[in-house]
């Protein structure tokens, strides 16, 4: 039977799985596949697996509980292999590589930060500070405008939005990066201008959280900062 793989930990990790269940409906039972150096948490793979809340939650809950007792390499959601022997082979072949990564992540957690700015507030700011944008806007509002005017205003504003948000993203990153061991940014989505994960040492966690709060305070209520964590180091495995 196919095997769903959740995490890899050192063989010395306690691997408490009590109270947890695996993916699928009904939920699969969790077990471990052990080698001398490493251990993988697995379950039988359900015949059909879709990224449902229940399954994503089960995958995440395994990582969180393992993380409470030590360092964990969380797998990406949805990976399966043929049987326990195949898992064992991967653990043996990759023993050095996985152990080294586990050592590198020891005592570290991931924090994920997203940030957005209220769009109206941003547009007001642009109209206040750019004479050209303000004039174009007034002209459009007066009703005398031709069809090219909205595009001219929109393009100008769009460039301003991008430039300002890029600057803000850099400022936030600069303020936090000194407190993290690694960082990984990705393309912000929706209205966000920042989407970044930090690898933070447990010893540094308080300072990091304090710094993030200071930034949130300084930016003020037009901004929406969502900091999530501590998480298993999904972005740094």
Partner 1 sequence: MTMVPQGGGTISRAGGGGSGNLYDILELILDRGLVIDVFVRVSLVGIEILKIDARIVVASVDTYLRFAEACNRLDLEEGRKAPSQLTDLVGEVTEGGAHGKAKGALSGAADVLTDALKGGHDDEEAEQSEKRRKEPEERRERPRRRPAARRREE
Among 12, 14, 135, 150, binds partner 1 (CB under 8 A): 150
Among residues 153, 176, 179, 180, the one that binds partner 1 under rule CB under 8 A: 153
Site for partner 1 in 85-144 (CB under 8 A): 86, 90, 94, 110-112, 114, 116, 118-121, 123-129, 133, 137, 140-141
For the bound state, the minimum distance from the C-beta of residue 197 to partner 1, rounded and expressed in Å, comes to 7
d(CA 174, CA 160) in angstroms, rounded, equals 21
Under 8 Å CB-to-CB from 82, ≥6 apart: which residues? 2, 3
Is residue 13 at the binding interface for partner 1, with CB under 8 A as the rule?
no
Pick out residues in 188-227 that bind partner 1 (CB under 8 A).
Answer: 188-192, 195, 197, 205, 209, 212-213, 216-221, 223-227
Stretch that binds partner 1, among 10-18, 28-36, 148-156, 175-183 (CB under 8 A): 148-156
Residue 47, classed as helix, strand or coil, is: coil
> Residue for token digits 């929406």?
224
CA angle 75, 61, 189 (to 5 degrees): 65
Footprint (CB under 8 A) of partner 1, residues 47-86: 49-54, 56-57, 59-61, 64, 73-81, 86
Task: Provide the 3-class DSSP secondary structure of residue 9.
Answer: strand
**Distance in Å, CB of 1 to partner 1, minimum:** 14
**How many residues make contact with partner 1 (CB under 8 A)?**
88
Is the alpha carbon torsion for 58, 62, 63, 64 positive or negative?
Answer: positive
Question: Residue 12 or 186: which CB sits closer to partner 1?
Answer: 186
- Rounded to whole angstroms, the Cα distance separating 125 from 178 reads 30
- Rounded distance between C-alpha atoms, residue 41 and residue 73, angstroms: 10
Helix (H, G, I), strand (E, B) or coil at 185: strand
Does residue 170 interact with partner 1 by CB under 8 A? no
Q: Is 187 in the site for partner 1 (CB under 8 A)?
A: yes
Contact between 11 and partner 1 per CB under 8 A: no
34 touches partner 1 by CB under 8 A: no
Q: Are 179 and 169 in contact (CB under 8 A)?
A: no
């Amino acid at each position: 039977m196919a095997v769903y793989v959740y995490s890899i930990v050192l063989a010395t990790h306690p691997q408490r799985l009590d109270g947890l269940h695996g993916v699928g409906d009904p939920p699969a039972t969790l077990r471990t596949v052990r080698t001398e150096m490493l251990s993988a948490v697995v379950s039988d793979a359900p015949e059909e697996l879709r990224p449902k809340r229940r399954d994503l939650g089960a995958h995440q809950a395994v990582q969180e509980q393992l993380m409470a007792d030590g360092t964990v390499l969380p797998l990406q959601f949805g990976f399966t292999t043929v049987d326990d022997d195949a898992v064992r082979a991967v653990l043996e072949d990759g023993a050095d590589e996985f152990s080294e990564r586990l050592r590198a992540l020891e005592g570290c957690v991931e924090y994920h930060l997203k940030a957005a700015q209220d769009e109206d507030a941003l547009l007001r700011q642009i109209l206040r500070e750019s004479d050209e944008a303000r004039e174009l806007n007034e002209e459009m509002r007066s009703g005398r405008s031709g069809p090219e005017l909205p595009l001219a205003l929109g393009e100008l504003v769009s460039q301003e939005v991008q430039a300002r948000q890029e600057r803000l993203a850099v400022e936030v990153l600069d303020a936090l990066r000194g407190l993290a061991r690694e960082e990984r940014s990705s393309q912000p989505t929706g209205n966000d201008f920042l989407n970044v994960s930090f690898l933070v040492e447990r010893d540094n966690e308080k300072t990091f959280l304090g710094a993030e709060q200071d930034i949130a305070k300084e930016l003020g209520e037009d901004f929406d900062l969502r900091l999530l964590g501590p998480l298993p180091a999904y972005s740094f495995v």
